[in-house]
Amino acid sequence: MKLVRIAALALAALTLTPLAYAQDKVSLRLNWYLGGLHVPFYYGKDRGFYAAEGIDLTINEGRGSANTVQVVAAGSDTFGLADSTSVILTATKGADVKSVMSLLNTTGYSVVSLAEANIKTPKDLEGKKVAVTPGDPLGQLLQAVCKANKVDCAKIGMIQVDPAAKVVTVLEKKADALLGGADDQYFLIKYKGGNPVAMKYADWGANTVGMTILTTGDTIKKNPDLVRRFVRATQKSWEEAKKNPGAAVDAAMKAKPDLNRQSTLDQLMVDIELLDSKNSKGRIGWGAQADWDQTLAILKNYRDLTTDKPWTAFHTNEFLPK
């Protein structure tokens, strides 16, 4: 009888063993400090979407897309959230990185101004002063907007300021506009009492793929199943955040209680709008060749990109659920 009990216990232990397996420890490096763009990842972790895929996720804040790509390339984090242009430019310099999700297929890059500046079209920028951060790609990519709309970029005065000073420079009327994000500086101005207007690059002929999820080629080669599970959990996290944006923000605020809830929610709603482009609709994370080809063309013309590699060298759709 005792042997029968022992055998039954052993069988039960074998049955439960899969639940006891250790989950894969995975880290995600964001592109910046926690904001609306990052809410779905915290929501997915809070709701257990990553855990359900066997992933023990740690989310680390970032210090800019370029830095995130470098950190992931160095192996310090498993995955990263970074702008496609940073992924491409770093990869062409030898970094072993690749996008596995084309997350925001419309860029949020914008000319952000106060409504009273009356900047409604790119032509209105001529004769105006614009705040830009030194080394910021938005300044170079503005040239693509100028060319697409027959604007003389030489007639736009560029005022170089630190990132944190751009909003203040506009509010104090030291500049007519700033180059920033429709989901970022726009709301910083709004919640400081200004009446902001965002003129998106994408609406004026200069769209580039926005935020992507990247990892190393080594991770793709050695652990494709992990990449597939992470992509699946991330896609679900964004899908559920779209359905329940308020709940998603509340989950993120557990990690950072001092967030401005309404501002963070506003940012998230803009980012949800940026998920799709005219070429890419309905599948979160799926990248369209037309969008990536245009991104490469703009980088070659305005960011000194030199490469003969096709778009598939920088992004793959292979890990998205069928």
Rounded Cα distance between 232 and 6, Å, is 40
5, with CB counted inside 10 A (0-12, 13-18, 19+), is exposed
Mean pLDDT of 210-228: 98
- Report pLDDT digits (tens) over 166-184: 999 999 999 999 999 999 9
Given a cut of 70, whether residue 14 has pLDDT beyond it is no
pLDDT above 90 coverage of the chain, percent: 87
Given a cut of 50, whether residue 150 has pLDDT beyond it is yes
pLDDT-derived band at 41 (thresholds 50, 70, 90) equals: very high
Q: Residue 19 has what pLDDT?
A: 43
Could you tell me the strand order of the sheet in which 97-102 lies?
A: 55-60, 24-29, 79-83, 211-216, 97-102
Mean pLDDT of 109-122: 97
Structure tokens of 143? 């040239």
Listed residue (38, 75, 102) closest to 319, CA to CA: 102
Q: Residue 253 has what pLDDT?
A: 98
Which helix H or strand E contains 237, and what residues bound it? helix 224-243
Q: Residue 135 has what pLDDT?
A: 75
Q: Residue 16 has what pLDDT?
A: 44
Given a cut of 90, whether residue 248 has pLDDT beyond it is yes
* Residue type present at position 17: T
Strand partners, 82: 212
Mean pLDDT of 220-233: 98
Given a cut of 80, whether residue 29 has pLDDT beyond it is yes
Q: Residue 187 has what pLDDT?
A: 94
Question: pTM for the complete prediction?
Answer: 0.89
- Domains contained in the chain, CATH given: 6-106+209-313 (3.40.190.10), 109-204 (3.40.190.10)
Q: Residue 5 has what pLDDT?
A: 52
Neighbours of 100 (CB within 10 A): 27
Q: Residue 316 has what pLDDT?
A: 98
* Residue type present at position 190: K
pLDDT above 70 coverage of the chain, percent: 93
Q: Residue 17 has what pLDDT?
A: 40
3-state secondary structure of 100: strand
Identity of the highest mean pLDDT range in 51-55, 163-167, 185-189: 51-55
3-state secondary structure of 305: coil
Q: Residue 20 has what pLDDT?
A: 43
Mean pLDDT of 49-65: 96
- What's the chain's average pLDDT? 93
Listed residue (104, 67, 106) closest to 87, CA to CA: 67
Rounded Cα distance between 25 and 300, Å, is 38
Neighbours of 54 (CB within 10 A): 17
